[in-house]
Amino acid sequence: MKPNASGQALLESVLVIAVTGVLLIGLIPPLLQSLQQRYHQGQHLQLQLQQAPLRSAFNLPSLDRDWLSEVSGLNVTDGNTSVTTDAAYPTATVLHPIWSILSVQRDFSLPTTNRSLAGWSATEDTPPTLFFSALSDDWSPHTQAALQTRPQALTSTQMLQTIGFHHIQELMAWLPFAREFAPNNLRFGHVDIDVVPEKKLCQQRDCS
């Protein structure tokens, strides 16, 4: 390689390194600031999402962003935050026709409007660029009575009990050939959570 060619290559290398260094010095701080801002936005949305079901149940507004930023230390000063509750997810869409029929029953309590959405967008007119969603009610029974009433409400014959069909059964049971139709014999929608007789349960300490 000629001396002038090696000198040109060295000069080009120094120039590339210098330009790359300037670009890195200029781009890293804004990039780091953008990542930190996105992290704060994500944490802010998680806090909003956590309280969304309770606030929706009592018709309360969303958490104030300025107050939340002051208390939690999250720096979220710009953009638009939206928190909503809906039933626009596939399972709720499929179950809606069935649920609309079963909801006439007295003890039916499996709501499909249990999805909470929290999103952040630059302005109110732009779609959210960061959002989270969560189901607030997984339909798990919270009381001992719900272990019986929830599956009972899913049985189609429970509707007969709701409309008072047991009174007709009492009249039918007066007939000699229809005694098995008595309400204590033919129990529509009956669910027994203790199907194993108590005397059959093992009472010993070391039984297996």
Burial degree of 51 (CB within 10 A; 0-12, 13-18, 19+): middle
User: Which whole number is the average pLDDT over 9-14?
Assistant: 74
Q: Are residues 38 and 127 in the same domain?
A: yes
Element housing 55 (H / E)? helix 3-57
115 and 22: one domain?
A: yes
- 101 and 188 part of one domain: no
Residue 104 counted as domain residue? yes
Answer yes or no: is 119 within a domain.
yes
Same domain, 106 and 166: no
Q: How many domains does the chain fold into? A: 2
Domain range for 158 is 146-196
pLDDT tens digits for 75-113? 776 778 888 888 888 888 888 888 887 777 666 777 888
Same domain, 153 and 63: no
> Residue 72 domain-assigned?
yes
Do 88 and 171 lie in a common domain?
no
pLDDT given for residue 24 in this prediction: 78
Q: Which of 4-8, 53-57, 161-165 is predicted with the least confidence, judged by mean pLDDT? A: 4-8
Say whether both 151 and 92 belong to one domain: no
Are 121 and 181 part of one and the same domain?
no
| pLDDT, position 3 | 56
Regarding whether 131 and 85 lie in a shared domain, the answer is yes
Per-residue pLDDT tens over the stretch 108-163? 777 888 888 888 887 878 888 888 888 887 787 777 888 887 788 777 777 777 77
Mean pLDDT of the chain: 78
* Contacting residues for 112 by C-beta, under 8 A, at least 6 apart: 87, 91, 92, 95, 96, 99
Residues 61 and 30 in one domain: yes
Is residue 87 domain-resident?
A: yes
The answer on 60 and 155 residing in a single domain is no
Same domain for 181 and 102, yes or no, is no
